[in-house]
Amino acid sequence: MGIVTSTLRSVNAWAHLPSTLRAGYVLGWGALFGANIWNSFIGGIIAFKTLPRQVFGNLQSRQFPIFFAYSTFLSLGLLTLDLKLRPALLTSFKHSPFQTLMALNGREFWGSTAGLSVVTGLVHAVNGLVVTPKASEVMFERHRLERIEGKSSDSRNPSKEMQTLNSRFTKLHSASSTLNTVGLITTGLIGWKIGSVGFGPRGSGGLGVMP
């Protein structure tokens, strides 16, 4: 337990890493945060306002799997660099995995850049592997029913089957949006940690390792 706490509080550990690794961490975070901002507030909105609804849906069904895979792997990359700070943590996990995991289940870890990277990667992975594929499946089913019925899914007096599909799609879309928002917030918090704590030798923990 003491080893875990000390590794989470490893003061100035990032200051001792090569500058290329520190630069790589910042560039990786920037690529992740920038992609999330573009997807959520710029590219997606422009496409929604420009393209016909079914074309927009087809575009999103191709784009989202790539986006979520990209975000998941970048989050894992940030976590990997973060763990280079804490070799004693990995040693502790090898010898006492259960006690180490229990020790990590605290505010110090989940408030650190490593903990935030875990959350970011998990929400994007769940979104890309579970929620979005189901939402796309329902969306294509709506497209098929629209062609059969000869009217849009948002038209007045939709059929009962269309109402069911609309309800399922709304729930899945809301879940996907919520997960995406959580990922955006946690990525932003990593950036806030970098900006407020930094890499300097007098920083309180180096890159947000300490709260």
Each residue's pLDDT tens digit in the chain (211 positions)? 444 555 554 444 555 667 777 788 889 999 999 999 999 999 999 999 999 999 999 999 999 999 999 999 999 999 888 777 666 667 777 788 777 777 777 677 787 788 899 999 999 999 999 999 999 999 999 999 999 999 999 888 899 999 999 999 999 999 999 999 999 999 999 998 887 766 544 343 334 343 3
All residues at 6 or more sequence positions from 11 whose CB lies less than 8 Å from its CB, including other chains: 204, 205, 206, 209, 210
Q: Is residue 210 part of a domain?
A: no
The total domain count for the chain is 1
Q: Is residue 102 part of a domain?
A: yes
What is the structure's pLDDT at 113?
A: 83
Q: Is residue 43 part of a domain?
A: yes
For residue 11, the enclosing domain spans 2-197
Q: Which amino acid is present at 116?
A: L
What is the structure's pLDDT at 17?
A: 64
| Closest by Cα among 83, 7, 3, 68 to 36 | 68
Q: Is residue 106 part of a domain?
A: yes
What is the structure's pLDDT at 200?
A: 42
Q: Is residue 86 part of a domain?
A: yes
Q: Is residue 65 part of a domain?
A: yes
| Alpha helices (H) in the chain, listed in sequence order | 2-8, 19-37, 43-50, 53-83, 87-95, 97-104, 107-110, 113-126, 132-149, 160-197
Q: Is residue 70 part of a domain?
A: yes
